[in-house]
Structure 1
Amino acid sequence: MATGAPIKYLQFAAELRRRIRRGTWPPGSKLPTEVQLAAVHGLSVNTVRRALEILADEGSVERRQGVGTFARSVPRPPSARRRIAVVLPERDWYFPPVLAGIEAAAARTRTTIDVHTTGYGDHGWHRLSRLSHHLEGAEGLLITHPGPADAAVAARTGLLRELPLPYVLLERTPSGIGDPSEHVSSDHAGGVYLALAHLAALGHRDVALACRPACAPSRGISTGFTEGSAALGLRVTARLDWPPITDCDSFEKVLAAQPPLADAVLGSVLDSGATGLICFGDMEGSALLSAARRAGVRIPGDLALISCEDRHAATEQVPLTSVAPEKFRLGSLAMETLLRRLDEPDAELRQVRVRPRLTVRESCGARATDPS
């Protein structure tokens, strides 16, 4: 007997199962006849009949003699619980709303989660390699790997594909075009485009970027800035880097200990002639607001400022306009994607980018109104 290719009736049973779960045939609705299904899909009636027998045995359909085949909804038994491992770099800075979304989706589906943290960078990857024993008994894995988003990640994330359980990357994207990893992540590039479009609508033509390299979102932010400014016809006057520190606690201490750092970034932006600035996060944005107050620079009168984060943006003395990732929804979607993979192992891959929301506050002003 030949092996390797899926047996036709098993393959067709899987396709029908997917369509029932997606609502093509809602619970109680009648499926086409065996002859109709065979004609539409180019199969023999015997292949269709054997596929329907599998679905009937598992409870996905009900076959009524002389009437037809009907879709059923078979809920997971109330006593059944799944165990999912969640691995994050940290739970105190970026990830609290993400984790809240994961927990909400888990509660809706009677799923138990075990949360582990690794930290960032090389230290984080070392800890991640030692967490493997905590995955025993888990049916699936949600993971935000330690980063950063550089070439070394491709080799490291290859280890994930060797795991004996399904996983979904959260706020991390596949390492290349051939990486089949499912993921749910922020469209940082699209979010920066929204910010630039808002600046352009306010009349700003000269823009600058102050990014933090080695952090996972930095690639998307940089790409969005390059492509967005070109698409909108804006002049890029400066591209500056903050210290490449991935750990948020360490970076906050650096900013607090070195006020001249923010002063220097602000000075370089103003010297370049930019009137609009995109900065990596609201931690950096806060430091720039303080630098502006020290230098007598008016925000947004002299410089309009938008941050790519929304953790404390609303509480600043001059509230920061921000590109705000939909963190709660990201966590919820990631959990839903993983549970779908467990329910439908042969379903198509899901690679999702969620565009952040632009929240306009005083640091760049409101969009100019149309005089007409």
Structure 2
Amino acid sequence: MANGAPIKYLKLADELRRGLRGGTWPPGSKLPTEAQLATMHGVSVNTVRRALEVLAAEGSVERCQGAGTFARLAPPPRGERRRIAVVLPERDWYFPPVTAGIEAAAARTRTTVDVYTTGYADRGWDRLTSLAGRLAGADGLLIAHPGPADAASPARASLLRKLSLPYVLLERAPSGIDDPSEHVSTDHAGGAYLALAHLAALGHRDVALACRTGSAPSRGIASGFVEGAGPLGLRVAAQLDWPPITGHDSFEEVLAAQPPLADHVLRGVLGSGATGLVCFGDMEGSALLAAARRADVGIPDDLALVSCEDRHAATEEVPLTSVAPEKFRLGGLALETLLRRLDEPDAELRRVWLRPRLTVRESCGARAANPS
């Protein structure tokens, strides 16, 4: 019997592995308890425990002390590696945590990742077209297209669908009801609602939005702001565009161009009667803090401020309350979604929206002075 025990737990590991690959337990879902699995398969708890240890060692499941066992993507057969191409507009600003999440998931699943950048707008689409030959050798593609909107135009979306390999959109929604693309994206509209709900809980009733225009998150943030204000009993006092700074050679020049814009936006917010402000993104939030200091406006005593980004929010002179996209998790889920498509070509389409996380800091820590 002692010699047969290893065969029994390895046989169970194979059965559970087939269940993982067949969708019985999708990635991220919780498996039954050891006792439940023992009853289901007619084996001892010790056999179950040893089978799960095998699956955990190969990366098919993750065992969390006190929480249970959770499904991960089953890796390809031993010795086989997949090559995934990742196409991003840039790697220095918004996307580094996304890339880190992809690479961490790749390390768990014996996947090789090649990352390419295109830039934005028309030049980015030209670059993407020129990359087509290099992408053709990959098994699959993760792509954040060059924009400018969160969804590609119908013509450009059709170009993506004509690619000769499976793909998943990153932080980009399908272009229309006839677009069958899978995607994993941040629910920016939901994030804006979280910001408004927090301001409402503090007693604010008049709110404003200052939103960087032209970037993929802007549309979702603006729609969530407008749609969320009414149900929360808030008055939209102002919606102010923060135009992107272009035509500069360096990031330092971009920063230097911010103060006049920040002064203009702050005057508009204060003139509207708003006591709460939702701002996208971190750079704009930092510029508004500086503008408030120049104008002797107290943050949060005179104006509560929430940033829809969280790269540097915690380190500001007045740490910014923020709505932070779950970028690392988003990257990992995107790769898992693509690998699932490669393993199960006929599986149902997956479209994932991840709601950001609200982190409360000092920039909106006070109640409104005169809530109505």
TM-score over 0.5 for the alignment? Answer: yes
Whole-angstrom distance in 1 between the partners of 2:272 and 2:349: 45
What's the counterpart of residue 147 of structure 1? 147
The correspondence of residues 225-240 of structure 1 with structure 2, limited to 5 A, is 225-240=225-240
Whole-angstrom distance in 1 between the partners of 2:312 and 2:248: 14
Of structures 1 and 2, the larger Rg is shown by: 1
Shift of the 20–330 alpha-carbon distance from structure 1 to 2, 3 Å rule, reads: closer
Mapped contact 2:88–2:143 kept (Cα < 8 A)? yes
TM-score, normalised via structure 1 length: 0.78
What's the counterpart of residue 210 of structure 1? 210
Whole-angstrom distance in 2 between the partners of 1:95 and 1:227: 27
The correspondence of residues 276-355 of structure 1 with structure 2, limited to 5 A, is 276-355=276-355
Q: 1:23 offset after TM fit, Å? A: 2.6
Which string of whole-angstrom CA distances, capped at 9 and with x for unpartnered residues, describes residues 47-102 of structure 1? Answer: xxxxxxxxxxxxxxxxxxxxxxxxxx996322110000000111111111110000
Unaligned runs of 5+ in 2: 1-17, 26-30, 42-72
What's the counterpart of residue 164 of structure 1? 164
The correspondence of residues 31-46 of structure 1 with structure 2, limited to 5 A, is none
Mapped contact 1:255–1:262 kept (Cα < 8 A)? no
Shift of the 219–248 alpha-carbon distance from structure 1 to 2, 3 Å rule, reads: farther
What's the counterpart of residue 124 of structure 1? 124
What's the counterpart of residue 48 of structure 2? none
Q: Secondary structure at the match of 1:86?
A: strand
Q: Secondary structure at the match of 1:236?
A: strand
What's the counterpart of residue 175 of structure 1? 175
Whole-angstrom distance in 1 between the partners of 2:218 and 2:339: 29
Shift of the 75–205 alpha-carbon distance from structure 1 to 2, 3 Å rule, reads: closer
Unaligned runs of 5+ in 1: 1-16, 31-72
Shift of the 93–281 alpha-carbon distance from structure 1 to 2, 3 Å rule, reads: same
What's the counterpart of residue 86 of structure 1? 86
Counterpart AA for 1:81:
R
Whole-angstrom distance in 1 between the partners of 2:134 and 2:327: 25
Counterpart AA for 2:131:
L
What's the counterpart of residue 52 of structure 1? none
Mapped contact 2:148–2:216 kept (Cα < 8 A)? yes
Mapped contact 2:299–2:363 kept (Cα < 8 A)? yes
Shift of the 119–181 alpha-carbon distance from structure 1 to 2, 3 Å rule, reads: same
Q: 1:311 offset after TM fit, Å? A: 0.6
What's the counterpart of residue 11 of structure 1? none
Mapped contact 2:136–2:165 kept (Cα < 8 A)? no
Mapped contact 2:105–2:332 kept (Cα < 8 A)? yes
What's the counterpart of residue 46 of structure 1? none
Mapped contact 2:75–2:110 kept (Cα < 8 A)? no
Q: Secondary structure at the match of 2:363?
A: coil
Q: 1:154 offset after TM fit, Å? A: 2.6
Counterpart AA for 2:217:
P
Q: Secondary structure at the match of 2:362?
A: coil
Counterpart AA for 1:96:
P
Whole-angstrom distance in 2 between the partners of 1:247 and 1:172: 26
Q: Secondary structure at the match of 1:214?
A: coil
Counterpart AA for 1:288:
L
Q: Secondary structure at the match of 1:338?
A: helix
Mapped contact 1:140–1:167 kept (Cα < 8 A)? yes
The correspondence of residues 264-279 of structure 1 with structure 2, limited to 5 A, is 264-279=264-279
Shift of the 152–333 alpha-carbon distance from structure 1 to 2, 3 Å rule, reads: closer
| Sequence identity (%) | 77
What's the counterpart of residue 356 of structure 1? 356
What's the counterpart of residue 97 of structure 2? 97
Two-structure CA RMSD over aligned residues (Å) = 2.6
Mapped contact 1:263–1:291 kept (Cα < 8 A)? yes
**How many residues align structurally?**
310
What's the counterpart of residue 22 of structure 1? 23
Whole-angstrom distance in 1 between the partners of 2:312 and 2:20: 43
Mapped contact 2:21–2:343 kept (Cα < 8 A)? no
Q: 1:258 offset after TM fit, Å? A: 4.6
Mapped contact 1:252–1:283 kept (Cα < 8 A)? no
Q: 1:152 offset after TM fit, Å? A: 6.0
Q: 1:123 offset after TM fit, Å? A: 1.4
Q: 1:117 offset after TM fit, Å? A: 0.4
Whole-angstrom distance in 1 between the partners of 2:99 and 2:182: 18
Q: 1:21 offset after TM fit, Å? A: 2.1
Counterpart AA for 1:108:
R
TM-score, normalised via structure 2 length: 0.78
Whole-angstrom distance in 2 between the partners of 1:194 and 1:320: 15
Which string of whole-angstrom CA distances, capped at 9 and with x for unpartnered residues, describes residues 219-256 of structure 1? Answer: 10011001010111100111110114589987763341
Shift of the 185–250 alpha-carbon distance from structure 1 to 2, 3 Å rule, reads: farther
Counterpart AA for 2:89:
P
Which string of whole-angstrom CA distances, capped at 9 and with x for unpartnered residues, describes residues 121-148 of structure 1? Answer: 1111111111111113200000001111
Q: Secondary structure at the match of 1:158?
A: helix
Whole-angstrom distance in 1 between the partners of 2:268 and 2:346: 53
Whole-angstrom distance in 2 between the partners of 1:334 and 1:297: 42
Q: Secondary structure at the match of 2:277?
A: strand
Q: Secondary structure at the match of 1:363?
A: helix
